[in-house]
Structure 1
Amino acid sequence: MNKTFALCASVLAVSLLGACASSNPDVVRRSDAQRMSTVIDATVLSVRPVTVDGNQSGAGAVTGGVIGAVAGSSVGGRREGQIVGVLGAVAGAVVGNAIERNATREDAVEILVQLRNGERRSVIQGKGQENFLAGDPVILTTTGGKTRVSRAPVVSQPAHAPSN
């Protein structure tokens, strides 16, 4: 029974941790919806793959520690169960921390762009659905201090009215 509980709790913890953080440009936080953003035109200079390191918030260690303690305490008699429970808690915390870090690690890209005024900027964001190449026109959208890069929309020239 305790082993089944520990397994279910582990699966739940990993699922929740994996959904905690993302730098994916296709995912927008609820708090950023319906907010005015600053948009700047730019051109891609280069793109390189990078890895965004995972989080270590402590949630994985706590979850792993509790699961390890519960699983360990079911071993043997009362005294053995207490000793193995403590060891299980320590081992579970270490494993839970590693699971959290690996579950929140993310493949990303660093995009170096040049603004129209000649300044250069670098933005690191998770891999989204858009792929960028040097020379691509893009826009930098900044909301709440966070910037994402996306392909610039095609803008058609307005029709000129005949002058009289």
Structure 2
Amino acid sequence: MMHKTVVRPARRQGVAAVVFVLLLAMLGAGCSSQSGSVYSTSQARVVHRVEYGTVTAVRQVQIQGEQSGLGVLGGAVVGGVLGSTMGASTGRTLAILGGSLAGAAAGAAGEQALKDKNGLELTVKMEDGSTVSIVQEADEYFAAGDRVRVLTAGDGSARVRH
């Protein structure tokens, strides 16, 4: 009696390649910084108004990253592909659907976790007597009483620096 063994290395390699590409896309998509020390290309060589003030309050906040949809899409594809390897006929269809839904949810959560950042809400009493509040990444230490510079760009975006 002959036994047929079906080996599908090309399919497994294809699935692995799709998963790898989707993970790379999720990691790189929309990576932008809200740091006081990082400037985008459009912010370089632009005049920023500089004003001085004193930090009156510092509060830790969470800066929520924007979803690109790649996490949901990638998770759904990976979940669907993994679901397609289970069951037969109607069971396979349900496994694909369930895998896609679970993958989409996991992909969305994974993308969100990668994009969320720790931030600071800095309240600054300006020399002119006004008070401003600026939120930026928590990549520099600030404390109440610190003398700081507030740099404001023409588009209204601002950052606090020592």
* TMscore range, shorter length: 0.7 to 0.9
Gaps of 5+ in 2: 1-11
Q: How far 1:75 sits from its partner (Å)?
A: 2.4
Unaligned runs of 5+ residues in structure 1 are: 152-164
Q: Does 1:87 align with 2:98?
A: yes
Matches within 5 A, 1:2-41: 4-5=16-17, 7-9=19-21, 11-17=23-29, 20-41=31-52
* Aligned match for 1:104, one of 90, 115, 130: 115
TM-score (norm 2): 0.80
Aligned-pair Cα RMSD in Å: 2.1
Match of 2:57 among 35, 46, 67: 46
Quote the residue 2:134 is aligned against.
Answer: 123
Give the Cα separation in 2 of the matches to 1:30 and 1:63: 29
How many residue pairs get aligned? The number is 149
Match of 2:150 among 104, 119, 140: 140
User: Could you tell me the percent identity over the aligned residues?
Assistant: 32
The alpha carbon displacement at 1:116 in A equals 0.8
Structure-2 separation of matches of 1:26 and 1:150? 8
